[in-house]
Amino acid sequence: MEHIRGHGPWLAGAATAAQEQGAGNLLRVVLIVMVVGCVLAAWFLLRGYKRDD
């Protein structure tokens, strides 16, 4: 990412840090969204089985 010019050193530093970190944060966010989505889907599907006897 050294070819970026005119945007200051912070942009090159951010690009380098993102390259070194990898997909850690993205994977963490995807897993959290999947878990929350599964919980909401289970709640939505299972709420119809509640009996009001």
Q: What is the pTM of this model?
A: 0.51
Do 3 and 15 contact (CB within 8 A), yes or no? no
22-47 mean pLDDT = 91
Q: How many domains does the chain have?
A: 1
Higher pLDDT, 48 or 20: 48
Reply yes or no on whether the pLDDT at 45 is more than 60. Answer: yes
Question: What confidence score (pLDDT) does residue 15 get?
Answer: 62
Question: Residue 4 falls within a domain, yes or no?
Answer: no
Looking at every residue in the chain, the average pLDDT score rounds to 76
Do 12 and 5 contact (CB within 8 A), yes or no? no
Question: What confidence score (pLDDT) does residue 48 get?
Answer: 81
Domain hosting residue 44, numbered range = 23-53
Question: Residue 17 falls within a domain, yes or no?
Answer: no
